[in-house]
Amino acid sequence: MTGKLYGLGLGPGDPELITLKAHRILTGAPVIAYPAPDTGPSFARQIAAPYIGAHQLEVPIIVPMRVERFPAQEVYDGAAETLARHLDAGSDVAVLCEGDPFFYGSFMYLFERLSGRYETEIVPGVSSMMAAAAALGRPLAARNDVLSIVPGPLDDDIMQARIEAAGAVAIIKVGRHFARIRALIEAMGLTSCAGYVERVSLAEQRVLPLADVTEITAPYFSMILIYKGGEGWNARTAAATE
């Protein structure tokens, strides 16, 4: 009997935002794997830390930052073979994923290599996008709105067209593109209905109207939400969270 592979969505960061199902599988799996940078801690492991036991074998998958943006096949080839050895030995393997595994997640690179050979289950998780809307106190989308999720690295012309065409927009992977994106939103006259969220659901969370952000850069874990359906920014909510 070979083991079973799990892609576990762990939610946006707060360990209490993992699901009961992910918690059950996480605490029961003999082998736990997670992406980790070449230096510094793994965010996925940090989310799961309160639930990991000393008896569980941990397999960090070292993904150099350079590689995270342009996935190198070799990294995932090697990781897949490592996990395959544990699965062949009959051990279930839980791969920890920030947010949701299939919402812009790197788990797909392991999934495409292993799901044809081993029983595989994806456990969906709370996305940081949903957590950001909750923190902002504004709907992500409602009624018959089109909601578009737009990655920050996209060019201005594409981004502008997608923002114009949608009733609601979530701009993800903002990071070093922050100043350019903010200028675009301002030029489009949408700053008053844009909110900014950084490190959502963590103790260091910051939530504020985009107009109030004074920095010119943003961390990787930041997001801009635009909701055209609202009547201006909810100042009460923003004030309460700063």
The angle, 0 to 180 degrees and rounded to 10, between the axes of the packed helices 73-88 and 107-114 is 60
Q: Which of 80, 126, 181, 194 binds its own copies (CB under 8 A)?
A: 126
Cβ proximity to its own copies, 145 vs 186, nearer residue = 145
Paired tokens of 161: 């067209």
Among positions 157-196, residues that touch its own copies (CB under 8 A) are 158, 161-162, 165-166
Cβ proximity to its own copies, 39 vs 75, nearer residue = 75
Q: Which of 82, 91, 115, 241 binds its own copies (CB under 8 A)?
A: 115
* Contact (CB, 8 A) for 138 and 230: yes
Q: Determine, following the binding rule CB under 8 A, whether residue 67 of this chain makes contact with its own copies.
A: no
Among positions 79-108, residues that touch its own copies (CB under 8 A) are 100-105, 108
Three-state SS for 171?
Answer: strand
Nearest-approach distance from CB 162 to its own copies, in angstroms? 6
Q: Which of 3, 23, 92, 196 binds its own copies (CB under 8 A)?
A: 23
Number of other CB atoms surrounding residue 189 within 10 Å: 8
Closest C-alpha among 227, 199, 213 to residue 138: 227
Residues 129, 135, 141: CA angle, nearest 5 degrees: 50
Q: 59 vs 13, 223, 230, 237, CA distance in Å?
A: 20, 29, 45, 41
* Chain residues that interact with its own copies, rule: CB under 8 A: 7, 9, 11-12, 14-21, 23-24, 100-105, 108, 111, 115-116, 120-127, 130-131, 133-135, 137-151, 153-154, 158, 161-162, 165-166, 236-237
